Amino acid sequence: MRYALVNNERVEASHGLSALCPGCGQPMVAKCGDRRVHHWAHRGRRTCDHWWEPETRWHRQWKSHFPADWQEFVQVAADGERHIADVRTGHGLVLEFQHTHLRPDERAAREAFYPNLIWVVDGTRLKRDAPRFAAGGQMLRPTPWRGIYTVAFPGECFPPNWLDCRVPAFFDFAGAGPVAPGVMPVERYLWGLLPGRAEGHGVVVALGRETLVRAAHERPQILDAVGIVGFLQARFRAERVAAMQEGRRLPSGKRSKRRRVWRRPRQRRRF
């Protein structure tokens, strides 16, 4: 964890400090080595939140875009269950930055616990993820909105365990390093898969990192995912119905002719 409580104040890890966990109140140890980012850890191998994962430089970079009091927010449900969100904004939007592999059941549990959530996924953890998106991205089709696309086969672009998310999932294929101005679009943008389908098509959003951060500061939703998918669903359905009607319609001025079927002549009965 980046912050722990010292004299009831949130403080970053430093040599010689003793602190308490803001989630469970247990003692924390400052880890200030050279191999990993400085952080707080529970004494021993104990952790108060089994959803928590070791923080990487990529995590730290993303969290640093937000105020300190938004980071590592302890959220408590009505039944007393508590978890520590990576970031919870002043508008109630939770951002979870996911680097390690996440089981589908745990992902679904987090989506159920946080009522207003988006994922930002490290797309550089597995070497095959970025090339898969680069190849599958050639099948993206534009929509009336700039930066929003549809794809007939979302599995050709995104990892299979993220296809059925109930919230938007944005993939960061650039990682923790700085993004050069001339890089390919795969790394230049975050690529988000919206929940739901539009007549079976996945809806994909290309969003700049600064745009996502600014939207998270200013409003409770990065974008209206439900409205966008719903609009495209209605549009695809209308196009499908129109195509079916066009297929049944005959050219003007011509009447259909019933196809004649040859039948064997009946033989006259002889007496």
For residue 271, what pLDDT band results from cuts at 50, 70 and 90? very low
On the CB side of 99, CA atoms within 13 Å amount to 15
- Token look-up 């196009």 returns 239
For residue 163, what pLDDT band results from cuts at 50, 70 and 90? very high
Q: What percent of the chain has pLDDT over 90?
A: 61
pLDDT at 262 over 60: no
Q: What is the pLDDT of residue 29?
A: 80
For residue 197, what pLDDT band results from cuts at 50, 70 and 90? very high
Mark 188-210 as b/e (b = at least 16 C-beta within 10 Å).
bbbbbbbbbbbeebbbbbbbebe
| Range in 36-40, 113-117, 252-256 with the lowest mean pLDDT | 252-256
Q: What is the pLDDT of residue 47?
A: 66
Cβ atoms of 123 and 133 within 8 Å: the answer is yes
Q: What is the pLDDT of residue 256?
A: 46
Instruction: Average the pLDDT over 223-243 and give the result.
Output: 93
pLDDT at 117 over 50: yes
pLDDT at 62 over 70: yes
Q: What is the pLDDT of residue 270?
A: 46
Cβ atoms of 130 and 159 within 8 Å: the answer is no
